[in-house]
Amino acid sequence: MGSIQSYLLEILLRVRRVFTSSQKEELDIAKERAETLSVSTSFARFGGVGCSPISANGVPAEWIVPAGPTSERSILFIHGGTFYAGSIASHRPLAANIAVAAGTRALIIDYRLSPEHPYPAGLEDVITAYHWLREMVSAKEIAVASDSAGGALTLGLLLSLRDGSEALPACAVCLSPATDLTLEGETWRTNRKRDIMLEYWKMVKGLEIYLCDTDPRNPMASPFHANLKGFPPMLMQVGSEEMLLSDSTRFGEKARMAGVDVTVDVWERMQHEWQFAKGFLPEADRAVRQIGNFIKSHWASDSNPLNPV
């Protein structure tokens, strides 16, 4: 049974859906980007962090550093937004809360978005940022965290590193990741009316402008179709009401069969991106705490102290 706050939030989101849903099914990119920023910062409850813009080998980025002593350990945070929306500004609250929960700094990046920059531009930026981070710290001191479309980019990064015989991060966290861009998972059909955060037609059109002529079964874009052997320990959180639910459960099953240490945690009655509501939603508080504990449990046992950036 969900919390009282979760029922109140669901009512609020359903009312919002009535006023924001378009019947024309025409994707307005500027409007979508503004809406993503507005919704993502509605519960911008975080504090005790310092934020410093930086360039990660040409990729716009920002260090988010919790107050007090930290270490060289770093979280590379890859935001979501259906590949055409999302930014450092929209996802700073989530990245900051995860950084605080894990007790370490986070690097959040602004990768290139479609339609201006379709696949593989965003993935290339993620790989560039990881290599930049590796110039400062070892792979065992890096965790990668992401949400939604950022999950596909995170998994694409892991695939690229593994296939290139490069050191993989200590662990990865994917919140409601998009793992199969064919949208063939069963909950894209069964949860279409239950999901009040995502609209199916927007996902279809968003993937069209992101993939262009790329096969949606290309493993680098659609990691569900990859060989997952050798991936690092992973945590996936997903809500039971999401269309993306089967993207997590199917990927988790395949990863386990490949010998990957993966936890897929399905949260009952939760909608897409409920973790943003930390400070209001008890389920979000618990989810972020779980993420922090997972990351801390997979760090190397030793790490050099580092002054805040």
pLDDT at 246: 98
Residues labelled catalytic: 148, 242, 272
Of the candidates 82, 175, 161, the residue with the CA atom closest to the CA atom of residue 126: 161
Does residue 154 lie within any of the structural domains? yes
Residue 81, domain CATH:
3.40.50.1820
Strands (E), the chain: 49-56, 59-66, 70-71, 74-78, 105-109, 142-147, 171-175, 234-239, 262-267, 305-306
Residue 308: predicted pLDDT: 37
* Inter-residue contact 260 to 132 (CB < 8 Å): no
Q: Which residues pair with 147 in a beta bridge?
A: 175
Tell me, what's the pLDDT at 23? 63
Task: Confirm if 13 and 271 have CB atoms less than 8 A apart.
Answer: yes
Backbone phi, then psi, for 115, in 5-degree steps? -85, -10
Q: Can you give the pLDDT at residue 57?
A: 98
> Is the preceding peptide bond at 308 cis, omega within 30 degrees of 0?
no
Query: Which residue, among 305, 295, 276, has the nearest Cα to 42 in the 3D structure?
Result: 276
Residue 164's domain spans which residues?
A: 4-298
Residue 31 domain flag: yes
Q: What is the pLDDT at residue 260?
A: 98
Q: Is residue 303 part of a domain?
A: no
Nearest residue to 95 via CA among 76, 70, 67 = 76
Per-residue tens of pLDDT for the chain, all 309 residues: 788 887 777 777 777 766 666 666 789 999 999 999 998 888 766 778 999 999 999 999 999 999 876 678 999 999 999 999 999 999 999 999 999 999 999 999 999 999 999 999 999 999 999 999 999 999 999 999 999 999 999 999 999 999 999 999 999 999 999 999 999 999 999 999 999 999 999 999 999 999 999 999 999 999 999 999 999 999 999 999 999 999 999 999 999 999 999 999 999 999 999 999 998 899 999 999 999 999 999 986 544 444 433
Determine, yes or no, domain membership for 113: yes
For residue 21, what pLDDT is reported? 67
Q: What pLDDT does residue 301 have? A: 54
- Quote the CA–CA distance of 200 and 202 in Å, as a whole number: 5
Token duo for residue 293: 């504990």
pLDDT of amino acid 11:
72
Strands 59-66 and 74-78: unpaired
Note the pLDDT of residue 19: 66
Q: Looking at the 3D structure of the chain, how many domains does it have?
A: 1
pLDDT at res. 149: 98
The pLDDT of residue 221 is 98
